[in-house]
Amino acid sequence: MGDRPVELRALLDSVAAQEGEPVEVVVVGNGAELPPLPPGVRGVELPENLGIPGGRNVGIESFGPAGSDVDVLLFLDDDGLLPDKETVRLAREAFAADPGLGIISFRIADPDTGVTQRRHVPRLRASDPMRSSRVTTFLGGANAVRTAVFRDVGGLPENFFYAHEETDLAWRALDAGWSIDYRADLLLHHPTTAPSRHAMYHRMVARNRVWLARRNLPVPLVPVYLGVWLLLTLVRRPSWAALRAWFGGFAEGWRTPCGQRRAMRWRTVWRLTRLGRPPVI
């Protein structure tokens, strides 16, 4: 969004320092003017903020329809940094070794403490962030996606704007037969932050959770999934203001269009369950 020029330059320098073939880079200014970019880095300035999925979809299309000019797309938040020079090479090798691998989720750690927050480990058993595994979702600001996934299932859901757009894509990719890996050895440094720092957080999380279920789950699982998340939200005892925003978003998710519905197959439900995260939580 144009407010982190120093961090953005550090990130671009860390990408340029990666081993192997150079990485072609596009920076999307999401409703913001871009700072000066290094030679060879393309910039796209959008006249308005399209949200996280909308901005990333513009980046995808800048590499041809559904990213067709390249084999893999790497998505990195502008305040992140790749501390290791072999990260891109290892990601390329992982995709080459496994034709069914569609998405790789990187490990995110604070650059000062080295701590990985539990919410940054995309599985229920998140106590050991150093354990790599097959997973059912991924982290939006630190990942690599095979472009064939976008050709199979489409891009990120732009109407989500913020929150849960990665899980929507992940569920569609899994339903199409792709796999998702969490790789603890592929590291992005990112300062520790709380998602609730965004004023719209509670409303967007609740609204998009309803949209996610309405778009992707078999009808019998929709009330189960949303009922579980309602109970979890209450157990976490958010502030009254946060709870009001959450319930407002929850209601908005029911009364507004969610986009195209493509319910996953029951065998995908079973696949998610075998991977340790049935689509009811």
Q: Domain boundaries in the chain?
A: 5-193, 196-274
Mean pLDDT by 10 residues, the chain (281 residues): 92 98 96 95 97 97 96 96 98 98 98 95 95 97 98 97 97 98 98 72 96 98 97 92 94 97 98 96 86
pTM of the model: 0.95
Q: How many angstroms separate the CA atoms of 169 and 161, rounded? A: 14
3-state helix, strand, coil in the chain (%, to 5): 45, 15, 40
From the number of C-beta atoms within 10 Å of its C-beta (0-12, 13-18, 19+), residue 211 rates as buried
The Cβ-side half-sphere exposure at 268, using a 13 Å CA radius, reads 20
Order of strands across the sheet that contains 72-76: 72-76, 142-146, 101-109, 179-189, 133-134
Tell me the residue ranges of DSSP E strands in the chain.
26-29, 42-45, 72-76, 101-109, 133-134, 142-146, 179-189
- So what's the pLDDT on residue 60? 98
The Cβ-side half-sphere exposure at 71, using a 13 Å CA radius, reads 9
- So what's the pLDDT on residue 199? 61
CA 7 to chain centre: 20
- So what's the pLDDT on residue 202? 93
Instruction: Please state which of the four CATH numbers 3.40.50.300, 3.40.50.2300, 3.40.228.10, 3.90.550.10 is assigned to the domain occupying 5-193.
Output: 3.90.550.10
Backbone angles phi, psi at 225, to 5 degrees: -60, -50
Instruction: Give the count of beta carbons closer than 10 Å to the beta carbon of residue 280.
Output: 18
Token readout for 138 is 């991924």
From the number of C-beta atoms within 10 Å of its C-beta (0-12, 13-18, 19+), residue 162 rates as buried
- So what's the pLDDT on residue 198? 58
Tell me which amino acid residue 87 is: T
Instruction: Give the count of beta carbons closer than 10 Å to the beta carbon of residue 61.
Output: 16
Q: How many angstroms separate the CA atoms of 139 and 120, rounded? A: 7
Cβ(123)–Cβ(133) below 8 Å: yes
Q: Which residues pair with 178 in a beta bridge?
A: none
Rg of the chain over all Cα atoms, to the nearest angstrom: 18
